[in-house]
Structure 1
């Protein structure tokens, strides 16, 4: 249960923060945000602000989404003959179109819709008591969808494609940007939670409980001066010395380790523990504990994580292999493992996944933010947008690629996990 809860929190937080980036800058760019949702599925709570944005909490706690006018597949579609009820103001202008049997206004006008234009001319035409009538629709009118969700209509002037190129560019980039910011904030928090940031420049170490060094009497903040015949001045020296000293070691044999403990040098016999074919002495890098060390260390951990992800992506491109990718199943497994290991590992996983989502979304595949950014840049260079049909085909191709990849990765995760 703890693993499931951890997965929901991690997945939900990285997705909602990502979507909030799109939401905030879309509003700043004059794009109508029709809905900002936390979760998926049927809504359990909703609130509409003065700008017409509907905020919803939905029953499945899995991420969230943002619906921008004219963005992606956000289209208003009313089939010919659809029954609707219209709410009119004193001037006879439609302020609400209800396509649902929910939230019915008893004073509304029933209509069988024939055709409509809710983007340009803002009109709706249909049969009222067997007589064809046309009504003007208010620019800020709402439409109640069949599931009962009430949203603003989306006139052309507030749609995504009619915002400035700069506005669309920052709106598309804001999602990944928010993931990077979240990753940095969580890494800084992690530095404070664990009391500092790892210091690889010194031979001062921490010991893992019940590890080989702890069993030999070595304490936290002791300094390792020598392992075998190898002198130690920093963490890299220590790692290399352990590898070389244990290269031909048999399980149960010990190695000499010279330690500086509170100014007193001593040599202890340490019996490395063999874990998955590798000998470990139970050492961790020392910590920098200053306030600014923790702040700068958070940025450093985020940068190191980002470079590790970029290198992994580069390796994936040069040596494609599905086993190098992970979907929701793999993410759940990581969340479950982190939950068992404690808060530090949960925070580390949350930060890394947030940065990973940000980088992944910047890949220039049309269905991703990176693909949209490329189209924005091309438009800025050409000084005119691509044809709507061309952009639609390119986006659909990207969606197809992502769907195939998602299915393949998820299936591969299931096979690896259960078979």
Structure 2
């Protein structure tokens, strides 16, 4: 249980970190101010500010996020009539605005806020020291810091460093960088697996057994490694997929196998064990496919790219079938499904966990590229539309589109999570 939880946190954390770091790096290079880069969610444990970005470590070790200037609502940071304190430099320019009651700044000037502009004019005004006889305006430094209610210090977001102020191509690259990083992670992870194994395992797609699990139905029936199962209950099985399909349909039923090994042929009768997989009951006998290993350097170096591409093609094929053959919640998996898969992977060791992480990273990259509002793919579509129209999309319409997309995603996530709970725990 503990091993599964640790593995889940590591896998989930790495996936999110790599994804968000892609957005972070691209935004920085594009001239967009990244106000905060957070590891984890919830209350802040640690914070460090450098080069315009506040790096935070938060209590819950799941997820993370990047706050880009212009992409979050900052109106709640300052409020009219709220007490703040200002830190001024020698030129009487504000370098820090404290809105938090959790922090007290020495030699700071008390102010009751009446109005402000931290995007264009860069000023703040209010009643100094509670004196309501006169409103006083202070100039704010372009790189001034603001202390939020929870005590987090972040840089203010002037218009020239906001997301909307950079070119469309730069915004598009920034939005695509997260999924791109997920594909890079998968390539590296698969390459690492090949390197550790000393070669690339190649599925033969034959009807030959590679291993027989101890105490399994197959082991008790006398099946051994290198046996070839040429038919299942009279149905010919020329390759592994046909073999899997035939045995899967025989769960709990007495089944006769025709087995060959070298020049000897024999018949074996057994009853495949009924197991639950992805919400469906199938038959299993406890065997794995015969695997060959290519030890060449070229195979090892190229495996990450080849395997990543194979999975991308397979996922798009599965998505295509969803649209042509009907939609089912069983085609999706949320955090519960991910936890279940991590539990199984952790049982088989580190390489299995790395393999799962690579697979999930590809899934995360592709899902985020789908043209759905609130996802990276939806933002990319808006970037393309703006590039074609040669003018920005109405911000109000963009907000409505994003909110609708976000609401639909939340509904889907709730349905998928509930379906996962039913599939894996009931």
Alignment partner, residue 166 of structure 1: 169
- What residue in structure 1 maps to residue 210 of structure 2? 206
Q: Is contact 1:142–1:151 with CA below 8 Å preserved after alignment?
A: yes
C-alpha distance in structure 2 between counterparts of 1:332 and 1:201, whole Å = 30
CA drift at 1:288:
2.4
Give the TM-score taking structure 2 as reference length: 0.86
Distance 1:24 1:367 in 2: 20
Q: Residue 324 and residue 242 in structure 1: after superposition, are their counterparts in 2 closer, same or farther (change >3 A)?
A: closer
Q: 2:388 aligns with which of 381, 392, 399?
A: 381
Tell me how far apart the structure 1 counterparts of residues 260 and 72 of structure 2 sit (CA, whole Å). Answer: 62
Residue 232 (structure 1) aligns with:
none
Asked if structure 1 preserves the Cα contact closer than 8 Å seen for 2:70 and 2:164, the reply is: yes
* Gap change, CA 1:192 and 1:243, over 3 Å in 2: same
1:285–1:332 Cα change, 3 Å: same
Unaligned runs of 5+ in 2: 275-281
- 2:136 is aligned to 133
Let me know the Cα RMSD of the aligned residues: 3.0
Partner of 1:114: 114
Corresponding residue of 1:274? 272
Q: Scaled by the length of structure 1, what TM-score is found?
A: 0.87
Q: Structure 1 residue 199: deviation in Å?
A: 2.1
Q: Which deviates more from structure 2 when the two are superposed, residues 355-364 or residues 294-303?
A: 294-303
Secondary structure of 2:46's aligned partner: strand
Q: Please say if 1:31 is aligned against 2:32.
A: yes
Residue pair 1:81, 1:112 contacting (<8 A) in 2 also: yes
1:225 is displaced (CA, Å) by 7.3
Which residue of structure 2 aligns with residue 77 of structure 1?
77
Whether the 8 Å contact between 2:259 and 2:268 is mirrored in structure 1 is: yes
**CA shift in 2, pair 1:213/1:287, >3 Å:** farther
How far off is 1:69 after superposition? 0.3
Classify 1:293/1:99 alpha carbon distance in 2 versus 1 (closer, same or farther; 3 Å).
Answer: same
Deviation at 1:409, TM superposition (A): 2.0
Q: Does 1:303 align with 2:305?
A: no
Q: Secondary structure, in 3 states, of the residue corresponding to 2:210?
A: strand
SS of aligned partner of 1:44: strand
Of residues 142-151 and 375-384 in structure 1, the stretch that sits farther from structure 2 once superposed is: 375-384
Q: More deviation in 348-357 or 58-67? A: 348-357
Alpha-carbon distance, 1:266 to partner: 5.8
Q: Which runs of 5+ in 1 are unaligned?
A: 230-234, 260-264
Q: Which residue of 2 aligns with 1:412?
A: 419
Per-residue deviation at 1:38?
0.4
Partner of 2:358: 351
Deviates more, 1:250-259 or 1:371-380: 250-259
- 1:139-190 CA distances to partner (integer Å, 9 max, x unpaired)? 0000000100000000000000001111101000000001111112112222
Q: By how many angstroms is 1:405 displaced?
A: 1.6
Partner of 2:376: 369
Aligned to 2:86: 86
After TM superposition, give the deviation of residue 294 of structure 1 in Å: 2.7
Q: Which residue of 1 aligns with 2:292?
A: 287
How far residue 70 of structure 1 moved from its aligned partner, in angstroms, is: 0.4
